[in-house]
């Protein structure tokens, strides 16, 4: 896990610096650092990402040329198109890569579409340099990870925290002959169920954003629900990290005035670095899951930071209510592992869970101030009343006649 954190943190800060100085997007704040880590984990990730991003870029271009989509809809369609290839591979050949199923789903759900969307926002002159810089940065990060996964550093880096890139499921460790023999993490959910849960999580996240203008994370809640079945300590880790990361993001913003993608990268870097000591303290052995939790906490801390003050209080009940809802769905479709929760799940637990969801969303609904309906306001406007409109037209006619005379 330490190697993954070093590579990702360095990459996130590098992306933040390049964005601040040159305005580059580099396929998204988290895209290149995470891709480098997972290419080290599984070499097949790189061609899957490149092919999926190319398909998403072309598909989004066709949609923009033939429809009127814009803004957030472009990102959603890009993610959907970019997920077609990896998710199809995952569902078809997932039995060959069960130990990294979360990797494939995550890469297929987010990164290619995110990259395609970002490159569509650039002009032709900038796009080429941006792509070249992204390729160079990926090469540097991959090289850094390759160097750190070695017999020389194994005594310090492979035993101090969850092994992750020193695991025998990591291609880089196997290729270099430094893999640590440890028990493999069991599969949490069947492949098809995992994909469906991610889809439900994305739909729920977008619905919450549309109605309440609060970002709870595109796949954050779904991932946390799945992780809960594996190890309840991952949820505790997330809670600790999002609080710490939020304080850090606030302090950095007010002291430096950094914002946007730069602040996202710094927040995510802070989250994964803080995840290392906390994971060791909590005794978490699923290094890949803890790594993801750190990224989710850092990104969501930024989401809380940018929320309107009137909406910021709604983040906790909305994310918690969404988490409980997806946790109920997850528990219905999968078995809990020894360290996961909830251990028991029946009618009573389902009723309690749905009651929590109702209370959370009911509270937000009660607090939310709705904008007046523009069509109703227009209908009631004095300018649209029939008699007023007739009188106004007559007055204009009289004024016109007087001017002519």
pLDDT tens, residue by residue, 265-306? 999 999 999 999 998 888 888 777 888 899 999 999 999 999
At residue 375's C-alpha, the angle toward residues 372 and 381, to 5°, is: 90
CB atoms within 10 A of CB 254: 9
Question: Would you state the pLDDT for residue 111?
Answer: 86
Confidence at residue 59, expressed as pLDDT on a 0 to 100 scale: 93
The Cα–Cα gap between 303 and 315 comes to: 9
Q: What is the pLDDT of residue 95?
A: 54
| Rounded-to-integer distance, Cα 39 and Cα 142, Å | 8
Compute CA 397 distance to the chain's CA centroid, rounded to the nearest angstrom: 60
Residue 286 has a pLDDT of 79
pLDDT of 108 reads: 54
pLDDT number for residue 97: 53
First to last CA, the chain: 88
Report the alpha-carbon distance of residue 216 to residue 208 in Å, rounded.
Answer: 8
The pLDDT value given to residue 401:
56
pTM of the model: 0.84
SS3 content of the chain, % helix, strand, coil (to 5): 75, 0, 20
Residue 391, pLDDT score: 52
If DSSP codes are grouped into helix, strand and coil, which group holds residue 24? Answer: coil
- Which segments of the chain have a pLDDT < 50? 98-99, 389
């Amino acid at each position: 896990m330490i190697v993954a954190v070093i590579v990702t943190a360095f990459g996130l800060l590098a992306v933040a610096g390049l964005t601040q100085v040159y305005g580059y997007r580099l396929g998204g704040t988290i895209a290149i650092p995470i891709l480098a880590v997972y290419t080290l984990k599984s070499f097949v990730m790189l061609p899957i990402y490149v092919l999926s991003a190319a398909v998403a870029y072309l598909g989004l271009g066709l949609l923009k040329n033939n429809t009127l989509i814009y803004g957030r809809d472009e990102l959603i369609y890009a993610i959907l198109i970019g997920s077609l290839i990896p998710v199809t591979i995952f569902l078809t050949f997932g039995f060959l890569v069960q130990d990294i199923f979360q990797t494939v789903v995550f890469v297929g759900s987010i990164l290619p579409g995110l990259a395609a969307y970002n490159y569509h926002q650039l002009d032709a002159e900038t796009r080429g340099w941006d792509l070249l810089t992204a390729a160079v940065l990926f090469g540097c990060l991959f090289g850094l990870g390759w160097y750190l996964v070695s017999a020389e550093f194994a005594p310090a880096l492979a035993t101090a925290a969850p092994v992750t890139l020193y695991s025998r499921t990591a291609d880089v460790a196997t290729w270099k002959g430094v893999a640590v023999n440890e028990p493999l993490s069991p599969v949490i959910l069947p492949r098809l169920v995992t994909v469906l849960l991610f889809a439900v999580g994305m739909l729920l996240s977008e619905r919450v954003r549309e109605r309440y203008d609060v970002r709870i994370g595109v796949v954050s809640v779904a991932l946390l629900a799945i992780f809960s079945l594996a190890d309840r300590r991952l949820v505790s880790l997330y809670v600790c990290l999002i609080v710490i990361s939020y304080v850090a993001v606030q302090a950095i913003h007010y002291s430096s005035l950094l914002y946007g993608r730069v602040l996202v990268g710094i927040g995510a870097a802070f989250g994964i670095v803080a995840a290392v000591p906390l994971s060791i303290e909590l005794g978490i052995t699923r290094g890949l899951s803890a790594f993801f939790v750190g990224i989710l906490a850092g990104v969501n801390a930024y989401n809380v930071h940018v929320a309107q003050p009137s909406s910021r209080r709604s983040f906790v009940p909305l994310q918690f209510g969404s988490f409980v809802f997806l946790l109920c769905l997850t528990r219905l479709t999968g078995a809990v592992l020894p360290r996961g929760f909830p251990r028991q799940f029946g009618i009573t637990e389902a009723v309690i869970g749905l009651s929590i969801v109702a209370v959370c969303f009911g509270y937000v609904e009660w607090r939310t101030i709705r904008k007046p309906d523009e069509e109703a306001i227009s209908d009631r406007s004095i300018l649209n009343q029939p008699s007023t409109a007739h009188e106004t037209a007559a007055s204009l006619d009289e004024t016109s006649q007087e001017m002519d005379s």
